[in-house]
A and B are shown apart, each in its own frame.
Chain A
Amino acid sequence: MFRLALKMLFGDGAKYLMLVFGIFFATFLIVQQSAVFCGLMRWTSSTLRNCSAPIYVVDAKVEQINETNALRDTDVALVRSVSSVRWAMPLYTGIQRVRMEDGTYKAVQLLGIDSATLAGGPTRMISGNVDDLRLPNTVVIDRLATERLANKGERPIGVGDVFEINDLEARVVGVCEAERSFTGGPYIWTTYERALQYTPPSRKMLSAILAAPIEGKTIDETVADIEAHTGLKAYSNQGYGTSKQDFSEATIWWYVRNTGIPISFGTTVVIGFIVGTAIACQTFYAFVLENLKHLGALKAMGMSNFRLSLMLLLQSFTVGIIGFGIGLLFTSLFAMAALKNEQPPFFMPWQIPVVAFLVIQTICALAALLGIIRLSLYEPAMVFRV
């Protein structure tokens, strides 16, 4: 009987396509917008992955990585004095300007790392050598910078090229892979001391302290020790969802709470849900109405309401699964293009398709429910009326 239910569904080509389109459209909007939102949120904490260290120590008032409230240089020694800290190194982060040959400026995300250990340095070099950062006036740039900092119409810049940061020479000694920053500017690594030279002076310039725990202590334990002994704020840096004190998590939630980004994306997701529901429910209801006479005949011939309901649910969920699959396929194509161009941001954790699947099946269940209600109100005797 269920095979016949599917044949009834596929046999009505126009309605079937309309239903699949509605579900596809809802899936695409929900999944694509959610993934772009997650990608954008991931960009907010990209510094934490580009400049990797187990522990970030910042000013007590700092709530997220892109917010700078400078520390005193002596705070590095203060953190080092904590017994559970294996090492602690200074970090400068800030947005600086690179002057182009045509006189225009480009904003870059400048990272100043400890010159002795190069802690927080790039991990995936494409060309050059990160150790060359110890040479005078040198920087390592990310792949985005090779395009962004190139003069118009000229080849991308690379190892050996020179540009200026705040009128001071910066010579490229390496190109690396890095995640895109939330502000859109490329990442440039240099030593901490040179970063201070590139930056207009101010009383305090230490943005954060990178640290690691000694053996036998967990990151969370060391984070607690640092906070207890220094009065500074310490965050673990192991990734979203790993700890209550994780800096990525704190950063992402700060953006969720303090910006209109979730409302903007959330609105689109809700619109996707509403449009999908409207199209699916309306079309499926019309499909049921059109087949009411036949379904009524089945009822008269002895088919139970329960079995008819199962048939409608099967038809509805089949459309849901096919529409969802096509929606996910198109989202993947979008993702491939996005990841190739590195924008718009795109990050799809497994939870997004799982939740979207449940949402889409809820839409289908609603659509089927409307049909079931209509069918249960249909008296089998009606089938004798022309």
Chain B
Amino acid sequence: MKEGQVVEVRGVEKSFGDGNQRIHVLKKVDLDARAGEILMLVGPSGCGKTTLLSAIAGTLRVEGGSINVFGQPMHSMSSSALTKFRGSHIGFIFQQFNLIPTLTCAENVSVPLLIQGVSSSKALARAKDSLATVGLGDRWKDRPGKLSGGQQQRVAIARALVHEPPLVICDEPTAALDAKNGEIVLDLFREVARSPGRAVIIVTHDNRIFSYADRIARMDDGRMIEERESDHSEKPHFDHEISH
């Protein structure tokens, strides 16, 4: 892997189903992600971008090709090694937030630390700090159900960052948010991506947020059709009028 490169995907293939029902979702896909950038993986629904994201995150096995993340061969690691690697190197942000509704915000945010074996009290203290960085320091006691969609996504971001993973993976992070909250969330991503040695990969088909990308990789029908630098002017920033 080249210097500054955090993800290297080469010739990755993945299919689902059997026989005539077999669908090739990824067809010899190549992709690179570098430290300090926001990489957006874009394309129409069903083009394979979430499958590729899952493969990079180590939550899905591929059938061919190679995936190296921080020099680790994700395609050939054992399940337990992959699980451990995910826990220490990757922060996840899901479209539907996936916060546990019966836990407080601080408890939700502390989960990645607890997974790593940090003590409950230390994890909770760091979770509160992490919530403060996303502007929700005073809501640590609340349960997610009491927060707006945007606030919940910020809690999810705090959870993804609390253990300081070098790679943050986001699946449609703004899909369930209004324009204003989408903007807040993306500003946070930009901050994260600028911190040393970190990279953010975002899967989206929300063209309102393309301007936040440093690079854009476009997929269609399981293939990577374009991978280029962004000039930060692809589309306008969130237009509050449009969102209404």
Q: CB within 8 Å of B: which residues of A?
A: 1, 3-4, 7-8, 10-12, 291, 293-294, 296-304, 307, 379-381, 383-386
Residues 55-76 (chain B) with a chain A CB within 8 angstroms: 57, 59-60
CA distance in complex: A297, B90 (Å): 13
Of the candidates A291, A296, A301, A379, the one whose C-beta lies within 8 Å of that of B60 is A379
Least distance between B132 CB and chain A CB atoms (Å): 21
B59 and A4 contact, CB distance less than 8 A: no
**What are 19 residue pairs bridging A and B, where the CB atoms are less than 8 Å apart in the complex?**
A1-B115, A7-B103, A8-B102, A8-B103, A11-B103, A294-B100, A297-B92, A298-B111, A298-B115, A299-B83, A301-B86, A301-B111, A301-B112, A302-B88, A379-B60, A383-B59, A383-B92, A383-B98, A384-B54
Assuming A3-B120, A384-B54, A384-B171, is B83 touching A293 (CB within 8 A)?
no
B100 and A8 contact, CB distance less than 8 A: yes
Least distance between A4 CB and chain B CB atoms (Å): 6
CA distance in complex: A386, B99 (Å): 14
Least distance between B219 CB and chain A CB atoms (Å): 15
Nearest 10 CB-CB pairings of A with B = A302-B87, A11-B102, A381-B60, A297-B98, A381-B54, A380-B59, A381-B59, A302-B86, A1-B114, A294-B100
- Asked if B101 lies at the interface with its beta carbon under 8 angstroms from chain A, I say yes
Q: Which residue of A lies closest to B113 (CB)?
A: A1
Residues 111-134 (chain B) with a chain A CB within 8 angstroms: 111-112, 114-116, 120
CA distance in complex: A299, B84 (Å): 10
B92 and A301 contact, CB distance less than 8 A: yes
* List of B residues within 8 angstroms of A383 by Cβ: 59, 92, 94, 98
Q: CB within 8 Å of A: which residues of B?
A: 50-51, 53-54, 57, 59-60, 80, 83-88, 90, 92, 94-96, 98-103, 107, 111-112, 114-116, 120, 171
CA distance in complex: A3, B103 (Å): 10
| Interface residues of chain B: helix, strand, loop or mixed (majority) | helix
Q: Which residue of B lies closest to A6 (CB)?
A: B102
Of the candidates B94, B103, B116, the one whose C-beta lies within 8 Å of that of A297 is B94
* List of A residues within 8 angstroms of B84 by Cβ: 302, 304
CA distance in complex: A108, B99 (Å): 71
Least distance between A195 CB and chain B CB atoms (Å): 71
* List of A residues within 8 angstroms of B115 by Cβ: 1, 298, 301-303, 307
* List of A residues within 8 angstroms of B92 by Cβ: 297, 300-301, 383
CA distance in complex: A7, B96 (Å): 21
CA distance in complex: A384, B204 (Å): 12
CA distance in complex: A303, B82 (Å): 11
* List of B residues within 8 angstroms of A3 by Cβ: 120
B103 and A304 contact, CB distance less than 8 A: no
B102 and A379 contact, CB distance less than 8 A: no
* List of A residues within 8 angstroms of B96 by Cβ: 293, 386
* List of A residues within 8 angstroms of B85 by Cβ: 302
CA distance in complex: A313, B214 (Å): 46
Least distance between B75 CB and chain A CB atoms (Å): 14
* List of A residues within 8 angstroms of B88 by Cβ: 302
CA distance in complex: A294, B111 (Å): 11
* List of B residues within 8 angstroms of A10 by Cβ: 102
B102 and A12 contact, CB distance less than 8 A: yes
CA distance in complex: A11, B100 (Å): 10
A4 and B107 contact, CB distance less than 8 A: yes
A300 and B59 contact, CB distance less than 8 A: yes
A293 and B98 contact, CB distance less than 8 A: yes
B80 and A304 contact, CB distance less than 8 A: yes
Q: Which residue of A lies closest to B116 (CB)?
A: A302
Least distance between B115 CB and chain A CB atoms (Å): 5
A300 and B86 contact, CB distance less than 8 A: yes
A294 and B98 contact, CB distance less than 8 A: yes
* List of A residues within 8 angstroms of B57 by Cβ: 300, 381
Q: Which residue of B lies closest to A8 (CB)?
A: B102
B107 and A7 contact, CB distance less than 8 A: yes
Least distance between A17 CB and chain B CB atoms (Å): 14
Contacts beyond the supplied A293-B98, A384-B171: 20 A-B pairs with Cβ under 8 Å: A1-B115, A4-B100, A4-B111, A8-B102, A12-B102, A291-B100, A294-B100, A298-B115, A299-B83, A300-B86, A301-B111, A302-B87, A303-B83, A303-B87, A307-B115, A379-B60, A383-B94, A384-B50, A384-B53, A384-B54
CA distance in complex: A386, B171 (Å): 10
A7 and B102 contact, CB distance less than 8 A: yes
Least distance between A66 CB and chain B CB atoms (Å): 58
CA distance in complex: A385, B100 (Å): 17
